Homo-oligomer: A and B are copies of this chain.
Amino acid sequence: MYNQTTGYLSRMIKFDNNRERRVRMYNPICSTVRQDAEKVKICVYDYNKDYVKQHELKDVREAFTFKENGNISWINIDGIRKADIEAIGEHFGIHPLIQEDILSIGQRPKMDEGDDIMYCLLNMLYFNEDTITVEQEQISIVLGKNFVITFQEDADRDVFNGIREKLNIPKSKLRSASADYLAYSMIDTIVDFYFVVMDKLSDKLEAVEEEIIRAASTRSLAQINSLRRELIVLRRNVLPVRDMVSGIIRSDSPLLDERVMRYFKDVSDHITQAADMVENYRDMIMSMQDLYLNKANIRLNEVMKVMAIVTCLMAPATVIGGIFGMNFDRIPYIHNRYGFFIAVALMLLVPVYMIYLFKKRGWFKRM
């Protein structure tokens, strides 16, 4: 399975409502918490305006030559191993603290500037339709003079296929631009994918709301709670990524070309929009919960009201039955031929009159 191949400890809050629930958090005191990945895949795109070549490497050390080979190089490493990070880190000038961040799990999205590099850590989000959960894959992006190194946890998926396609198009903006534009494209793609996840989450929200309106059941409440938890995962990613992008825009790193800044401002627009939408979803979930509780309450109250009314309507009949069931010698109408029918008629008429009264006061109207 996914978790096993990457040695990646599920660390986001996931609640399996009916049976078990696990909150696993990063315990930074245990420096060995990230197990080395079993499988590591290293892939380099080496390109310039007129040339592009894709290399599959066996060992991270083979990537060293791409540092200053004149072309722009995207070194993508799927599967994180401490030794690899340290080797790469030393050769490409990545500070030990940033190496630690790359190795960390459950880290808050962040941006950091080193002497000759810029570092971004954030999560790619996927929506798992089967478990209806938002899954995260941590990605580290290291931008250098003529290279971008990315560290992913999972070899089997990422969101960069669009970028790979554009790299193969000779005159694309991506091929002509410098390395910072490649880094921008990655962050932009990751943020764009947040909208895909939100879109799917929003479909689920709709489905649950429709279910509540049609026929609210305890299951609905469980689903609301579950969606709320997935939304928290989104929220915990979107808000710090907003800070991260602002940090890039404010940065005066020589690695960032003035013309690329405008592109980061565009990402900033999108992530701000995403933050707005997350807030809207929060409001929607809250009002869905209110709706559910109101509906549940109204249904219960209706039942109680009907029971109370029925019980109340039968009480006069009980009394009348009691009156003529008394053993007095002299009871009016007792020997009358129609006595019984008069009594039973009374038993019917009194509740009918009561119903008339109740109706007049609007007590049968549903609220």
Contacts and interface: CB of A to CB of B under 8 A. Distances in A.
Nearest to A108: B273
A26 B328 contact: no
Interface in A310-367: 310-312, 314-337, 339-340, 343-344, 347, 354, 358, 362-363, 365-367
A108 B343 CA distance: 73
A157 interface: no
A304 interface: yes
B340 A330 contact: yes
Given A225-B287, A312-B311, A329 B321 contact: no
Contacts of A296: 367
A290 to B, nearest CB: 9
Interface in A291-308: 291, 293-294, 296, 299-308
Contacts of A25: 195, 198-199, 202, 277
A55 interface: no
Interface stretch (A1-9, A86-94, A263-271): A263-271
Contacts of A216: 367
Contacts of A27: 195-196, 199
Interface stretch (A66-74, A146-154, A204-212): A204-212
Nearest to A326: B324
A181 to B, nearest CB: 13
A142 to B, nearest CB: 16
B323 A330 contact: no
B335 A339 contact: no
A195 B340 CA distance: 73
Contacts of A110: 269
A22 interface: yes
Interface stretch (A13-21, A39-47, A125-133, A164-172): A13-21
Task: Kindly list the 10 A-B residue pairs having the minimum CB-CB distance in the complex, ordered from nearest.
Answer: A321-B322, A324-B326, A307-B308, A296-B367, A314-B315, A328-B340, A325-B325, A317-B319, A328-B339, A307-B312
For this chain, the copies found in one complex come to: 5
A334 B331 CA distance: 10
B303 A363 contact: yes
A195 B29 contact: yes
B339 A26 contact: no
A34 interface: no
A49 interface: no
Given A307-B312, A333-B328, A23 B205 contact: yes
A327 B325 contact: yes
Contacts of A303: 305, 308-309, 358, 363
Interface string A96-135: 0100110000111010100000000000000000000000
Contacts of A365: 217
A177 B96 CA distance: 15
A53 interface: no
Interface in A214-243: 215-218, 221, 225, 228, 232, 236
A344 B330 CA distance: 12
19 contacts: A18-B213, A23-B202, A23-B205, A28-B270, A29-B196, A101-B266, A107-B273, A236-B280, A303-B309, A311-B312, A315-B315, A318-B319, A320-B322, A321-B322, A323-B343, A325-B325, A328-B334, A329-B336, A329-B339
